[in-house]
């Protein structure tokens, strides 16, 4: 037996029928799927490398597309969050600053790994 009362209460806080919510979910799911499918296709066929003249140019173009898609995803997520109801318990200064601290730590992880791998290592991978 599964007790679904906690999930039912959660869905009371989230409007899953909102067009912003649906756009955010689709963009969140699409980005890694696109990245992985195109990267695997390029690995097998080298088609992008031939179109752009070199693997490096193809990697930079694919990376630029991925970064633009990440901007679209972030925008969709932000708009979806704006349209959702707020939990009163989280609408306070400590929750805001805790969120900023978590964002800072996440950004530190992303930037440090990007600096360690470089652009091509991040978007092309080094095997």
Domain positions in the chain: 1-51, 53-126
- Indicate the angle between helix axes 93-123 and 55-83, nearest 10 degrees: 160
**Tens digits of residue pLDDT in 59-108:** 889 989 999 999 999 999 999 998 888 778 888 899 999 999 999 999 99
Any residues with CB less than 8 A from the CB of 110 and at least 6 apart, and which?
none
pTM of the model: 0.76
Could you tell me if 52 and 58 are in contact, meaning their C-beta atoms sit under 8 angstroms apart?
yes
Give the pLDDT band of residue 127 (cuts 50, 70, 90).
very low
- The angle at the Cα of 94, spanning 85 to 20, to the nearest 5 degrees, equals 25
């Amino acid at each position: 037996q599964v007790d679904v009362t906690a999930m039912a209460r959660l869905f009371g806080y989230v409007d899953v029928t909102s067009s912003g919510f649906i756009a955010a979910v689709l963009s969140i799911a699409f980005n890694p799927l696109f990245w992985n499918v195109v990267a695997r296709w390029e690995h097998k066929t080298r088609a992008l490398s031939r179109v752009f003249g070199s693997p490096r140019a193809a990697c930079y173009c694919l990376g630029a597309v991925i970064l633009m898609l990440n901007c679209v995803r972030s925008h969709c997520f932000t708009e979806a969050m704006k349209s959702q109801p707020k939990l009163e318990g989280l609408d306070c200064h400590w929750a805001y600053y805790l969120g900023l601290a978590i964002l800072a730590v996440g950004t530190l992880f992303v930037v440090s790994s990007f600096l360690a791998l470089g652009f091509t290592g991040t978007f092309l991978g080094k095997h």
